[in-house]
Amino acid sequence: MALSTSGKWIIGIIAVLLGLGALFVLTVVAIFSGGETEEETVSYGTGGKVALIELNEPIMSSEETVRQFRKYRETPSVKAIVFRIDSPGGGVSASQEIYEEVRKTRESGKPIVVSMGSIAASGGYYVACGADRIMANPGTLTGSIGVIFQFLHFEELFKKLGVEASTYKSGELKDIGSPFRKATPQERAYFAELVGDVYDQFVNVVATERKLDLKHVKKYADGRVFTGRQARQWGFVDTLGTYEDAIALAGNLGEIKGTPRTVRERKRKTFFEELMGEAISDVVRWRNVVAQPILQYRLATPDER
């Protein structure tokens, strides 16, 4: 029985709607799929594997770096690790968690060589301290051993706008760091004690791991940055060299015969990340900084000094 013209139109509309629905589902899958990791060979060699773990951004989270250290620590075919750092530092807790994982991996018997790039300062230096060897370029910026804790204050701006804020609190320090008022002398003393404690944790790790006298560390632990050459002179790094030199050293420490084969994880980008580039990643990366202040082992930018 032949369909009427209206029946054909209805079937056509249904087919189009089904097609659009399928296209929508495929688009959603394409946008949000990805993010899976796969191993890629960075350089081929005749010997065993050296794994490359990279830290190329401010330290706001430890999860990904910690996961990679655990993975390669438990991978028998990987004989050593090169930890490539190009970071100004970041959150205290995240830096400490990465450092602890580096230290655990070293103590498990898996050699780790840190290769410093352009900058490995503050938290970027902290996480390096757990390795067997630290190698920097002569012009690497490192150091910046110290703590920074910042708050924004809008008190004067709100006065001009005629905006007032009311705060009801259960304790004297419950709204400490409020952007609606200046800090009291009591709060400033509290912050000084808080920052001092975290600072002591930093310098003690450096003194212990680098086998340096605590007084010597504190002499240079005033937030200053120094070059890789200065860091070598003062005992904060072991040697000067390039990324390739670090791979060769890792191969030697891992007792690899021949030229090491260097491998690393590669994360497949989602369609959305490919489309938007790094803009979305940058927004996500810094959302915690905007949302709330955190204690940081971070090199302060020139406009903050």
Q: Which residues are catalytic?
A: 122, 174
Say if residue 59 is exposed, middle or buried (CB neighbours under 10 Å; 0-12, 13-18, 19+): buried
Interatomic CA distance for residues 2 and 7, integer angstroms: 10
Interatomic CA distance for residues 83 and 212, integer angstroms: 22
Tell me which residue of 79, 46, 111, 112 sits closest to 259, measured CA to CA.
46
Cross-strand pairs, 37 = 267
- What are the strands, taking DSSP E only, across 28-158? 37-43, 49-55, 78-87, 89-91, 112-121, 133-136, 141-143
Q: Are 133 and 245 in contact (CB under 8 A)?
A: no
Tell me which residue of 268, 263, 273 sits closest to 68, measured CA to CA.
263
9 residue type, one letter: W
Q: Are 251 and 23 in contact (CB under 8 A)?
A: no
Interatomic CA distance for residues 142 and 226, integer angstroms: 6
Interatomic CA distance for residues 90 and 57, integer angstroms: 9
Q: Are 187 and 173 in contact (CB under 8 A)?
A: yes
Interatomic CA distance for residues 300 and 291, integer angstroms: 19
Tell me which residue of 88, 91, 97 sits closest to 60, measured CA to CA.
91
Tell me which residue of 164, 160, 162, 192 sits closest to 176, measured CA to CA.
192
